[in-house]
Amino acid sequence: MGINILEGTFNTTDARVALVVSRWNSFITDRLQSGAVDAFKRHGINEANLTVAYCPGSFEITLTAQKLLETGKYDGIVCLGVVIRGATPHFDFVAGAVTQGINNLNSKFGLPVSFGVLTTDTIDQAVERAGTKSGNKGEEAALALLEMISLIKKIR
């Protein structure tokens, strides 16, 4: 007898997914959204199964995702935002709140909520992670979501 291995794939073409996208720093979040949508399309997700909900900033991502999950219409959510460190502790509060909030949603709903919120020290670092030097973290968050949706279906 061998070990029973469970792992997700990206072949979840019938998945119903939503993206929660912060409008704050939209010059970055627009690129993250494009990367995520492109990844979903490349892996066979029909546009009719994609929903995008815009919220004002990263702090509001958690509530927006929660309200989408409460509808029961989605297999998972991708959260996209960017928090750039400044001269005040605001960065720590917002980054910590959105991180903990997304983590809590995963536990509360038992559905994947992927973390595509950039937390960077500079604007340049954010740009690098939104489709230039360091890839596109929106695309990575979308792929992580597809893999988790598939894995959860296998576990059930």
Active site residues: 90
The H or E element that residue 113 is part of is strand 113-120
**Beta strands 17-22; 76-84: pairing state:** parallel
Spatial CA neighbour of 50 closest among 145, 140, 154, 156? 145
DSSP string, 46-60: -GGGEEEEEESSGGG
As a whole number of angstroms, the distance between CA 22 and CA 78 comes to 11
Which residues, 6 or more positions from 58, have their beta carbon under 8 angstroms from its beta carbon?
A: 22, 24, 81, 82, 83, 94, 95, 98, 117
User: For the purposes of burial, counting CB atoms within 10 Å of the CB of 18, is it exposed (0-12), middle (13-18) or buried (19 or more)?
Assistant: buried
